[in-house]
Amino acid sequence: MRSQLRVSLLISVMVIVSGCMPVMIGGGMVACGYTALRDKKVGDSLNDSKIDVAIKKRLYKVDPKLFSEVSVVTNQGCVLFTGVVSNPEWGGVAEKEAWKVEGVIAVDNNITSGEELTPGQIVKDGFITSSCRSALICASGVRSVNYKIKTANGVVYITGVARTEEELNTTLSKLQNVSGVKKVVSYVNILKK
């Protein structure tokens, strides 16, 4: 019983942290529906996940602190780095490590150096990210599952695939109007038909 509770708690934390919203049915997760809704092939999602893991392993080998200070999001082989690092050289190091991973076609390095983010700012950024996701879920004409959102120091970074130029404009407008957002940086591609 206690081990089941631990597993349930671990799964709940993973779901909250990842921002994923799978449906819980009878103790099992149904994430297939989530993947099927996306305008991205399952193979592309798997490749992006492999790239994320490979980069994170490389960053950890360089220094566990680098690993903890940098966030990695990959979309169709394009890697987005965010975070504030204590060592000013780590931004360049992270980028070099990313290029060593098979499947990487672009690296957008938004790592800054300076003072570490305070726990208060980390909580604020998490709240902004959640608010942005909610805004997209409620936005008419926006397929929110096609986007990944990361917030660092009040700056919102968005990656993914928009179905049309109009959807992209709506998406960016909704994000810009979320309370606490300083700026929106878009790495969204428009779906080719």
- Angle 48-159-41 (CA atoms, 0-180°, nearest 5)? 45
Its CATH architecture, for the domain 119-190, is 2-Layer Sandwich (3.30)
User: Which candidate, 31, 38, 33, places its Cα nearest to that of 160?
Assistant: 38
Distance CA 124, CA 118 (A): 10
- pLDDT (tens digit, 9 = 90+) per residue, 134-187? 999 999 999 999 999 999 999 999 999 999 999 999 999 999 999 999 999 999
User: Which candidate, 139, 158, 121, 117, places its Cα nearest to that of 19?
Assistant: 158
CA 29 to chain centroid = 21
pLDDT class of 191 with cuts at 50, 70, 90: confident
- pLDDT (tens digit, 9 = 90+) per residue, 102-146? 999 999 999 998 877 788 998 999 999 999 999 999 999 999 999
- pLDDT (tens digit, 9 = 90+) per residue, 5-49? 554 544 544 444 444 444 334 344 433 443 444 455 556 678 999
- In the chain, residues under CATH classification 3.30.300.130 are 42-113
- pLDDT (tens digit, 9 = 90+) per residue, 77-88? 999 999 989 899
Non-local (6+) Cβ contacts of 133 within 8 A are: 19, 144, 149
At position 130, the amino acid (one-letter code) is: S
8-state DSSP, 177? T
Non-local (6+) Cβ contacts of 74 within 8 A are: 48, 49, 51, 52, 55, 80, 104
Distance CA 72, CA 148 (A): 11
42-113, what's its fold? Answer: GMP Synthetase; Chain A, domain 3 (3.30.300)
Three-class DSSP labels, 100-148: CCCCCCEEEEEEEECCCCCHHHHHHHHHHHHHHHHHHHHCCCCCHHHEE
- In the chain, residues under CATH classification 3.30.1340.30 are 119-190
At position 155, the amino acid (one-letter code) is: V
pLDDT of amino acid 32 = 41
